[in-house]
Amino acid sequence: MDEMTLAGRAYDDPFPWSFLTDLVETGPRLGGSPGERRAAELVAEAFETAGADPEIRAFDISRWERGDAEIAVSVDREGRTVERSFDAIALPYSPPGDVRAPLTDVGHGTPAETDDAEVAGTVALADTASPGDGRYVHRMEKYGHAVEAGASAFVFAHHKPGQLVPTGTLRFGHEGAVPAVGVSYETGEWLREYAAAGADLRLRVAATIEPGTSHNVLGTLGPDTDEGVLVVGHLDAHDIAEGALDNGCGITTVATAARYLADLDLDSRVWVAGVGCEETGLLGAEALADRLDRDRVRAVVNVDGAGRHRDLRALVHGSDPLRDLAERVADGAGQPCHVDETPHPYSDHWPFLRAGVPSVQLHSQPASGHERGRGWGHTAADTRDKADERNLRDHALLTALVVAELTRTTVSRRERATLREELEAADAEPGMRAAGVWPDAWE
């Protein structure tokens, strides 16, 4: 099938919306849960329909399970004591704990802000945003800086109104050092005011970690060549919502793209994969990278964020050939493509990129422009009504075209020393070290 015929097929394809609906109806998909296992079965069924001969493979994890959480503030206000309780949720891999300590506002939680605050022995309060004139500061970094400064606990407040309580893992697959919770923007505003007034905060978290099992799905399309292209998306989601955007739209895009790739001429093998436990530490991607010979993987297309919004956004992690290829494919399809060249480690491409495999993460952004921060993602508002079936169809087609073009194109591998230099130039090293993901020895 030629690309124009495929575009016509994709125009009114009912599969993406049907698949996304089935996926979110499975229930919570946190790593190691029954919902995540059912999601793997749905992905395998889609790959089977595409002729990819899929296999579901289990891998061992430390499964974190959420208990309840609460926070309560006590502050003297003009001779009277104010005591209030607020809704909160534990952040994945928070240890259980019961802490009472002064509350300290560290703003965005950047290294400079945390260093300027007197954090030791207090509960650090950071918001989910990053400075508008600086680099993106990941949640794990904010937590890591607070821990390094001696914080007794950590509170993560959403930066957008709407009673959106954020979640998100603290460490890649292992327990954090101090208890941590997410709270809404509205609660965060009160807590900042109370912190300035010298408030004490009590923070309690109940959570457990026990041995568990997660699952990856791997199939193969195209000719039986020694080397190939990997297209991957994570099938898990946080347990407080449907995970329709993160990453329901992404894995739907992968499942749909697999069906389209089956009808395209491919010059090399294509591995199609759905991985578990991305949200709790890229554990599925690590297991997949251990299973595949990374020297045989010519390039990785990581679909994390595509399908959510109208315009495609390609994060090319410093690869000029991938930037040119993504722009060329999008131009040929008459679609916009916004390119970000800065490398980062916080998605499923990382186990491959750090080994030198050229990697592109397909994300998306509203046609009106890119906003920093997650919005509905990682909150209870991440539901199917936020998705648009047109975006799913268009981005699945673009993903398939990018992958097909990669089978016909030689993309030079990333020199690991160069990648390290690019991360250092982007000022990513301090944050990655605080998050515990800076490689001690580069592969």
**Is residue 160's pLDDT more than 90?**
yes
Q: How far apart are CA 353 and CA 420, in angstroms?
A: 11
Tell me, yes or no, whether 199 and 287 share the same domain: no
Mean of pLDDT values over 28-39:
97
Pick from 209, 231, 263: which residue ends a domain? 209
pLDDT at 133 (0 to 100): 76
Tell me, yes or no, whether 250 and 308 share the same domain: yes
Report the share of the chain in percent with pLDDT over 90. Answer: 92
Q: Per DSSP, what are the bridge partners of residue 44?
A: none
Q: 375 pLDDT band (50/70/90 cuts)?
A: confident
Tell me, yes or no, whether 281 and 234 share the same domain: yes
Pick from 151, 185, 209: which residue ends a domain? 209
**Is residue 443's pLDDT more than 70?**
no
Span 92-145, pLDDT tens digits? 999 999 999 999 999 999 999 999 999 999 999 999 999 987 788 999 999 999
Tell me, yes or no, whether 190 and 252 share the same domain: no
Within a domain: residue 340? Answer: yes
**Is residue 417's pLDDT more than 90?**
yes
Mean of pLDDT values over 371-388:
88
- Phi then psi dihedrals of residue 195, to 5 deg: -60, -40
Tell me, yes or no, whether 358 and 427 share the same domain: yes
Say if residue 247 is preceded by a cis peptide, omega within 30 of 0.
yes
Tell me, yes or no, whether 155 and 15 share the same domain: no
**Is residue 371's pLDDT more than 80?**
no
Q: How far apart are CA 247 and CA 279, in angstroms?
A: 9
**Is residue 75's pLDDT more than 90?**
yes
pLDDT at 328 (0 to 100): 96
Q: 1 pLDDT band (50/70/90 cuts)?
A: low
**Is residue 379's pLDDT more than 80?**
yes
Residue ranges making up the domain that contains 297: 3-62+212-435
pTM summary value: 0.96
Which of these ranges, 5-14, 58-67, 87-96, 367-376, has the smallest mean pLDDT?
A: 367-376
Mean of pLDDT values over 242-249:
97
Tell me, yes or no, whether 392 and 263 share the same domain: yes
Place of tokens 């849960």: 33
Average pLDDT score, the chain = 95
Torsion of CA 364, 326, 409, 220, to 10 degrees: 20
Q: How far apart are the first and last CA of the chain?
A: 40
pLDDT at 370 (0 to 100): 64
Tell me, yes or no, whether 346 and 394 share the same domain: yes
Tell me, yes or no, whether 273 and 356 share the same domain: yes
Tell me, yes or no, whether 216 and 348 share the same domain: yes
**Is residue 6's pLDDT more than 90?**
no
Mean of pLDDT values over 143-151:
97
Tell me, yes or no, whether 343 and 366 share the same domain: yes
Span 249-300, pLDDT tens digits? 999 999 999 999 999 999 999 999 999 999 999 999 999 999 999 999 999 9
SS3 track for the chain: CCHHHHHHHHHCCCHHHHHHHHHHCCCCCCCCCHHHHHHHHHHHHHHHHCCCCCEEEEEEEEEEEEEEEEEEEEEEECCEEEEEEECCEECCCCCCEEEEEEEEECCCCCHHHHHHCCCCCCEEEEECCCCCCCCCCCHHHHHHHHHHCCCCEEEEECCCCCCCCCCCCCCCCCCCCCCEEEECHHHHHHHHHHHHCCCEEEEEEEEEEEEEEEEEEEEEECCCCCCEEEEEEECCCCCCCCCHHHHHHHHHHHHHHHHHHCCCCCCCEEEEEEECCCCCCCHHHHHHHHHCCHHHEEEEEEECCCCCCCEEEEECCCCHHHHHHHHHHHHHCCCCEEEECCCCCCCCCHHHHCCCCCEEEEEEECCCCCCCCCCCCCCCCCCHHHCCHHHHHHHHHHHHHHHHHHHCCCCCCCCHHHHHHHHHHCCCHHHHHHHCCCCCCCC
Tell me, yes or no, whether 121 and 74 share the same domain: yes
Q: 2 pLDDT band (50/70/90 cuts)?
A: confident
User: How many structural domains is the chain composed of?
Assistant: 2
Pick from 151, 174, 209: which residue ends a domain? 209
State the CATH number of the domain containing residue 351. Answer: 3.40.630.10
pLDDT at 11 (0 to 100): 85
pLDDT at 257 (0 to 100): 98
